[in-house]
Amino acid sequence: MANQESSYRQIFKTTSIFGGVQVFSILISIIKSKVIAILLGPAGIGLYGVLNSTIEVLKSITGFGLGVSAVKEVSEAAATEETTRISHILKTLRRWVYATGIFGFLLTLLLAPQLSQWTFGDESYTWAFRWLSVVLFFSALSSGQTAALQGMRQVAYMAKATMCGAFLGLCVSIPMYYWLGYQGVVASIIISSISTLIFSSLFARRIKQVTVQQSYKETFKQGIGMAKLGLAMMFNSVLTLLVTYAIKAYISRVGGIDDAGIYQSAFAIAEGYFGLMFAAMIVDYYPRLAAINQDNRLLGNEVNKQAEVGLLIAFPCIIIALFFMPIGIRLLYTKEFMSSVKCINWAMLGNLFKIGSWAMGYVLIAKGKSKLFATTGVVFNSIYLLISIYGYRLYGIEGIGMAFFIYYIIHFAGVFLICSYLFKIHYKMEFLYLFVIILSISIIAFFLQGLANPWIKYSTAFVLSILSLYISYRQLDKRLDIKEFINNKLRRK
């Protein structure tokens, strides 16, 4: 029982720390989006989203997945507590990210005319992509520094680096939108990548190292293992980004740049902002699974614990968001973005299924099933692309939200069947019971949020919000004894 409680506390602790960091990053993004919306309108938001998506795809392709795969190598070296071995791994990592950064920079520079043509239908944004090529270099170096910090379990340093980088990027970006207009979007993306690199480098330098001699042949040989593991991760990541890019490009061509801006704003909230939970959990969840990947019983326990904590943290957020999203849209953007509300509401329900499928899906990575992971990535991403385009053609922006909801039901069922058949890993009854209750209340909120009478609507919102908070608190308290958890923290201070 004590071990169970300790495990839940570790999950909650890591999620809390990085949840706070992600909330801060979200506030920065909100301010940035609000400034763009006011100064440049939906077209500015659309331009920012399309350019960012293109760069993200290129970063994934040219980065070889080292930002993720290197964490495993660094963690294994850190477990030995041998400074020399750690230094060798970090030197290998630095050399590889320099190489991938230069590769990304040159590739983007050369393909700038084609990228503009593919993305916008003409070559008017060629110079924008040429300027953005430097982002590939800076981001590669940043990913290496972050992987080093994560592998060394330097949670506090990672948090500080993320927050400081985001804040500096915002402070310098805002004047760019005012002075440069649409050109300020490009400048903002470049500045953000530089600020991220500055602070990730500052904190990564605090890792204890010694000077080691290493030939480039040794660097290649040692780094190829990271690259092989990273390629499987990269493949799936690129597929996901390509699908997102394709959807945005399709919307911008068929519905125009304004519709692309509405879509960008909707998913910045429904998936991007909500992704704070996934970003917070991944810091500790993947290393934990990788450490016990040979024991299916322990893997099943960790999957269910992570999924339960994820659901309980998300539950009140989803209920509150369903009722107050129209107000949130006006605060975050402008009234021109109100058509995104229905899309967001559908996606909020989809996020419940995403939590369960995400927790189970990481078993494939922890098991090292790279071919299976890549295959399922192709199948699932193809399904998502098709139903998203079909949903947009039928119902516009709302149809994209419907597609997200349907897709994650399919993903939830598919990943469960794969892990159940291959590894005998199942969702436990405690999780399924919790999931059914939370989903049922969320569906009720989904339909009641459309009530015309504001008194009934917001009275219902108050009751369901309190109910969701009560259920989440009670269930979390059963698992980790919140009062004792807080008291322990206070006693340490």
Q: For residues 381 and 478, state if they share a domain.
A: yes
Residue 13 domain-assigned (yes or no): no
pTM for the full predicted model = 0.71
Q: For residues 200 and 295, state if they share a domain.
A: no
pLDDT single digits (tens) 401-415: 899 999 999 999 999
What are the counts of helices (DSSP H) followed by strands (DSSP E) for the chain? Answer: 16, 0
Number of folded domains that form the chain: 2
Q: For residues 489 and 457, state if they share a domain.
A: yes
Q: For residues 40 and 85, state if they share a domain.
A: yes
Boundary of a domain, candidates 200, 219, 241: 241
Q: For residues 221 and 297, state if they share a domain.
A: no
Q: For residues 234 and 142, state if they share a domain.
A: yes
pLDDT single digits (tens) 130-181: 999 999 999 999 988 988 887 777 777 887 888 888 888 888 888 888 787 7
Which domain, by its residues, includes 333?
Answer: 255-493
Q: For residues 320 and 217, state if they share a domain.
A: no
pLDDT confidence of residue 15: 66
Q: For residues 393 and 422, state if they share a domain.
A: yes
- Give a three-class secondary structure readout of 435-491: HHHHHHHHHHHHHHCCCCCHHHHHHHHHHHHHHHHHHHHHHHHHHHCHHHHHHHHHH
Residue 141 domain-assigned (yes or no): yes
> Quick one: which of 68, 14, 121, 7 has its CA closest to 230?
68
Boundary of a domain, candidates 241, 263, 279: 241
Residue 12 domain-assigned (yes or no): no
> Quick one: which of 195, 197, 201 has its CA closest to 167?
195
69-78 core/surface letters (b: 16 or more CB in 10 A; e: else): bbbbbbbbbb
Residue 421 domain-assigned (yes or no): yes
Boundary of a domain, candidates 213, 241, 269: 241
Distance of CA 2 to the CA centre of its chain: 32
pLDDT confidence of residue 173: 81
pLDDT single digits (tens) 282-334: 667 776 776 677 788 888 888 898 888 888 888 898 898 888 888 877 777 77
Q: For residues 176 and 291, state if they share a domain.
A: no
pLDDT confidence of residue 415: 92
